[in-house]
Structure 1
Amino acid sequence: MPFHHSNTADKFIVDRRKTHRNSDVSRAVRKTRDRLSQQAGNPAFESELLKLHARAMVRSATAIPLLVLSISIVGLFSGMGNEILLWALLTLTCYACLAYFARRVDRSEASAIDPGPTRAYFLAGHFLSGLGWAYFAQLGCDGCSIDQFSVFKAVVLLLAIAATALIGSSLRRTLVVTFAFPVAAYAIAGARLWMPVEAVMAGLLVLALPFFSHVAANMNRAALMLMSFRREVDGLIAELETAKSMSDEARRRAEEANLAKSRFLASMSHELRTPLNAILGFSEVMANEVLGSMNNQTYRDYAHDIHGSGQHLLDVINEILDLSRIEAGRYQLNEEPVTVLHTVEECCRLMELKARNKGIRIVKQFESVLPRLFADERAVRQITLNLLSNAVKFTGSGGEILVRVGWTAGGGQYVSVKDNGPGIPEDEIPIVLSAFGQGSIAIKSAEQGTGLGLPIVQGLLAMLGGEFQLHSRLREGTEAIAIFPPSRVMEALPAVPTRTVARGERRKSA
């Protein structure tokens, strides 16, 4: 028998179509986003950018010094003399001081960095290193063996500008502070010579400085944006973790409160039933006139009304207590071999009188032979009676209820109760499956219940490892299916041979 999807619901009636948001959490998240959307110049980002610049300086501390050493070696072999060594010594000293300061900043925490003085120290160090490059731009090589020495100097300056643009992009205006003076010195020196090559190289350097400055500025903005996104992600993750912890705590408290409620109701069984049993007993004695006749018919009617109302109240209390015990995990299953066919047949006989009074016909379609289930007979009986009671309650006069018992496709067993009543709208199925939930048709009906029958069925089937399915169409009817898993189906035991039985009896008699 094919089954479709099952409709389940929470214990509480919740309209899932409406979005619920905590306004305080929403405002906190929005405030965090506004705080994290910071522009350049923010002290927090300035500290991180300075630390990033210091790390880049430390990691590339040997790049430009190696270039300076290479140039000085080439100058010595070309016959430039001690002047090139003096330039190399001054430039390397400036870069060594800059690297030492960068290492100190890199080892410091970002929160401990004062952006103003640190930025000023970095720019001062880059300016001093730029003076070394300006000194190099003024160097001459009249007696050396390098042809077009001015072109060589321009190429070296271009390499230094490009390297500084990549290394110092995290600190704004680093390139301009370092190479504005050297490029001006080279342009002045080239203008004195009035040579086309020097003029071209000077123009190239003048154009290269703003170009690489633009590249460095773009890299700076990219780094700033990356840090902003990282900070925003970290902040949102922190907000999400906070909201999750609050939600977990609220859920834990709600579960504890619900469990306490269930335990309280489960422990109140004796206290609630004892006075009700007394009311039922005395009202029955009065209604049946056991201790003597009652001459007033009104009093007899009152006694019948008291007994009927008390019985209804006892049924409601029993349902509440059953659901509470199930929720609290205190419903004890007395598992034993159960013949589902016999149990369902007895339940149908119990409901036939009520169905006949409403003009409803109960049709049974049972499998001829079904093995027994290892289950709780009381739970199976309660499941069947609840399903039959709902079907009788909501089926109109002259209707029909079809009760089926058989195999599932997976090897389990099922009990199906199908009526041709008014049905349930699709959007109300989660409501009727929730505790105390009633659909619009049940609310309009004169035979209202507590709305606990189906939740009890779901709880009992869950304890048995089974599944509950509810299918309904408006104005066509409803089918409720209780499915028992294959693991609870007991295999038929083989018949014991007659000789073995006789041998066992002789041993007992001996």
Structure 2
Amino acid sequence: MSFAAPPTVDHGAARRPGPREGELARTLRAARERLAMRGGTGPRFTRELLVQHAAALRAAAFVLPLPVMATGFGLSVFLGPVPAVLWTLVALGCYLALVATARRFGAEQVAPEAVARWRGLFLTGHAMTGLCWAYLAALDLGPLHGREFGIFQFTVLFVVVASTAMISFTLQAVVPATFALAAVFLAIGIAGGTDPAHIAMTAILIAAIAFFSLVSEILRRSALRGYVHQAEKDELIAELETAKVISDEARRRAEDANLAKSRFLATMSHELRTPLNAILGFSEVMESEMLGPLGSDTYRSYVRDIHASGRHLLGLINEILDLSRIEAGRFSLNEEAIELVAVARECLGVVRIKAEAKGLTVRGDFEPALPALWADERAIRQVILNLLSNAVKFTPRGGTVVVSVGWTAGAGQYVSVRDDGPGIPESEIPVVLSAFGQGSVAMKSAEQGTGLGLPIVQALVKLHNGRFDLHSRLREGTEAIAIFPQSRVLEVMPALDDPNWQEA
């Protein structure tokens, strides 16, 4: 019988990154660039702050003319209509130019090298509006309207300074750039003034410019920290997404490798077992000399070696297939009610001849009247046989092997195989419990195994929801314990003619 070759899986081929991975890489790179500029604003953060500033100016485009027109109306009362209209037109023109700059900035794709130029344009626009307010700050109407105009001047400038600080705080040094000249004129007014009330209001205005400059800078730094935190979040999300992509790729490769392994083992189970059965069959026929004598003792010895080696190789193949089926989740338990003591006695009888030939004492220590266990008899027999075979294999001549079956403290059942052999160093216990793992004692032994016995035992016990423990000390022996939970112990049901049962 021939089998089609399984499809090959190229695990070494380089995998081209998909569009999602490329997008993640770009996001991660951009986030790292932003974090690298954490010490200052950097061109990228400056651009984002300018974007926010331009958006604020566009949103306030219909509000900015209101204080200008209100101021123009007030100036018409104190200065007359012509100077007031001229001042209003100039101030409105400056604010219109500033809003137009913001709209143009929002419409263009600003390159990083052009950020400084745009920042200079915005500061220039604010400075032009500041010239209009500096003109207002420089006005002095003398004693005739001095008190009333001072109150008007104080109110307008205070409101304009505060609104500028609130609207344009994302532009660094916007308040000093706009109102520095106004502060100079106010300070000159204090130096030449004689009215205490006017001096007090002027001093408050100068202090307000300094105060709102500080407030504007604090708000700008707060906005900058927000961008830094957003960059950190972007980096974290990108890192998580990248890790997920890598994890998915690793899982896919592992699944492909596991599929390839399963196909290989499925093929090998047939391709190896078929010739091995022929070798075992023919070597057994030759060893028994069914078709005539071999004629030489050397040939008889060779035939016995061939038969023994074939049985060893077949056992190794069976163990590998069992372990691969368990790992792949395709080992199904054929569960039924079994007597754990009976299975242990049976296994003890199987290994007794080999143990006695080696000069070992093998005995059982069984708890009487144990109830049945719900388990796979073949798997339990394999567990006990593997443990007994290991004990017999590594226990020196004259040693003792004890098999115990009984109750656990949690009302479950256990099987224990204890020997007084050379033991296993504590550091090597994880090694011998891994597939193909062998301790130093096994390496030196003339009866080396495959290193699959204990991993198979551990996996079969786990399939029964149990626990496998291995306790050993060097030169003091080893005890292997398979523990089965209470949920697998079958209760003894009362007889149907029991009056207590009938009442229940």
Give the TM-score band, short-chain normalised: 0.7 to 0.9
Are the structure 2 counterparts of residues 65 and 315 from structure 1 closer, same or farther at C-alpha, using a change threshold of 3 Å?
same
Q: What's 2:268 paired with? A: 268
Contact 1:37 1:228 in 2 (8 A): no
Contact 2:43 2:112 in 1 (8 A): no
Contact 2:347 2:385 in 1 (8 A): yes
Deviation per residue, 1:371-426 (Å, 9 max, x gap) = 22232211111111112222222333333333222233444322222333333334
Task: Give the superposition deviation at 1:460.
Answer: 2.1
Contact 2:401 2:420 in 1 (8 A): yes
Q: Equivalences for 1:231-242 in 2 at 5 Å?
A: 231-242=231-242
Are the structure 2 counterparts of residues 347 and 137 from structure 1 closer, same or farther at C-alpha, using a change threshold of 3 Å?
same
Count residues with an aligned counterpart.
471
Task: Give the superposition deviation at 1:301.
Answer: 1.4
Deviation per residue, 1:135-184 (Å, 9 max, x gap) = 32123455777748648745764564455445433212212221112112
Are the structure 2 counterparts of residues 79 and 29 from structure 1 closer, same or farther at C-alpha, using a change threshold of 3 Å?
closer
Q: For the residues of structure 2 that align with 1:69 and 1:361, how far apart are their CA atoms? A: 113
Q: What's 1:324 paired with? A: 324
Q: For the residues of structure 2 that align with 1:34 and 1:397, how far apart are their CA atoms? A: 72
Are the structure 2 counterparts of residues 217 and 314 from structure 1 closer, same or farther at C-alpha, using a change threshold of 3 Å?
same
Q: What's 2:395 paired with? A: 395
Amino acid at match of 1:264: F
Are the structure 2 counterparts of residues 35 and 187 from structure 1 closer, same or farther at C-alpha, using a change threshold of 3 Å?
closer
Are the structure 2 counterparts of residues 427 and 168 from structure 1 closer, same or farther at C-alpha, using a change threshold of 3 Å?
farther
Q: For the residues of structure 1 that align with 2:473 and 2:110, how far apart are their CA atoms? A: 66
Are the structure 2 counterparts of residues 81 and 166 from structure 1 closer, same or farther at C-alpha, using a change threshold of 3 Å?
same
Task: Give the superposition deviation at 1:289.
Answer: 2.8
Task: Give the superposition deviation at 1:452.
Answer: 1.0
Mean CA deviation greater in 458-467 or 386-395:
458-467
Q: For the residues of structure 1 that align with 2:111 and 2:468, how far apart are their CA atoms? A: 59
Q: Give TM-score scaled by structure 1 length.
A: 0.77
Unmatched segments (≥5 aa) in structure 1: 1-27, 499-510
Q: What's 2:36 paired with? A: 37
Contact 1:151 1:197 in 2 (8 A): no
Amino acid at match of 2:298: T
Task: Give the superposition deviation at 1:456.
Answer: 1.4
Q: Percent identity?
A: 54
Task: Give the superposition deviation at 1:249.
Answer: 0.9
Q: What's 2:439 paired with? A: 439
Q: Equivalences for 1:466-505 in 2 at 5 Å?
A: 466-497=466-497
Task: Give the superposition deviation at 1:449.
Answer: 1.2
Contact 1:176 1:213 in 2 (8 A): yes
Contact 1:335 1:375 in 2 (8 A): yes
Amino acid at match of 2:465: G
Determine whether 1:285 maps to 2:285.
yes
Are the structure 2 counterparts of residues 231 and 413 from structure 1 closer, same or farther at C-alpha, using a change threshold of 3 Å?
same
Task: Give the superposition deviation at 1:330.
Answer: 3.3
- SS class of match (2:479): strand
Q: For the residues of structure 2 that align with 1:472 and 1:108, how far apart are their CA atoms? A: 76
Q: What's 1:183 paired with? A: 183
Amino acid at match of 2:333: L
- SS class of match (1:239): helix
Q: Give TM-score scaled by structure 2 length.
A: 0.78
Q: What's 2:3 paired with? A: none
Mean CA deviation greater in 61-70 or 308-317:
61-70
Q: For the residues of structure 2 that align with 1:299 and 1:292, how far apart are their CA atoms? A: 13
Amino acid at match of 1:384: I
Task: Give the superposition deviation at 1:201.
Answer: 6.6
Mean CA deviation greater in 334-343 or 149-158:
149-158
Q: For the residues of structure 2 that align with 1:233 and 1:162, how far apart are their CA atoms? A: 33
Q: What's 2:458 paired with? A: 458
Q: What's 2:417 paired with? A: 417
Q: For the residues of structure 2 that align with 1:446 and 1:166, how far apart are their CA atoms? A: 88
Q: Higher RCO, 1 or 2 (CA under 8 Å, sep at least 6)?
A: 1
Are the structure 2 counterparts of residues 101 and 350 from structure 1 closer, same or farther at C-alpha, using a change threshold of 3 Å?
same
Unmatched segments (≥5 aa) in structure 2: 1-26, 499-504
Are the structure 2 counterparts of residues 118 and 454 from structure 1 closer, same or farther at C-alpha, using a change threshold of 3 Å?
same
Determine whether 1:358 maps to 2:358.
yes
Contact 1:187 1:202 in 2 (8 A): yes
Deviation per residue, 1:452-499 (Å, 9 max, x gap) = 11221232233333333333344443332223333333333443559x
Q: For the residues of structure 1 that align with 2:358 and 2:70, how far apart are their CA atoms? A: 108
Task: Give the superposition deviation at 1:36.
Answer: 3.5
Q: For the residues of structure 2 that align with 1:168 and 1:416, how far apart are their CA atoms? A: 81
- SS class of match (1:268): helix
Deviation per residue, 1:216-238 (Å, 9 max, x gap) = 44554453344234324413431
Mean CA deviation greater in 450-459 or 32-41:
32-41
Contact 1:78 1:146 in 2 (8 A): no
Are the structure 2 counterparts of residues 407 and 196 from structure 1 closer, same or farther at C-alpha, using a change threshold of 3 Å?
same
Are the structure 2 counterparts of residues 162 and 231 from structure 1 closer, same or farther at C-alpha, using a change threshold of 3 Å?
same
Deviation per residue, 1:304-359 (Å, 9 max, x gap) = 11111111111111111111222333334322221111111111221222233334
Q: For the residues of structure 1 that align with 2:420 and 2:30, how far apart are their CA atoms? A: 57
Q: What's 2:6 paired with? A: none
Q: For the residues of structure 2 that align with 1:477 and 1:485, how far apart are their CA atoms? A: 26
Amino acid at match of 1:257: A
Contact 1:414 1:483 in 2 (8 A): yes
Q: For the residues of structure 2 that align with 1:278 and 1:310, how far apart are their CA atoms? A: 10
Q: What's 2:20 paired with? A: none
Q: For the residues of structure 1 that align with 2:269 and 2:376, how far apart are their CA atoms? A: 21
Q: What's 1:139 paired with? A: 139
Amino acid at match of 1:36: L
Amino acid at match of 1:37: A
Q: For the residues of structure 1 that align with 2:409 and 2:62, how far apart are their CA atoms? A: 75
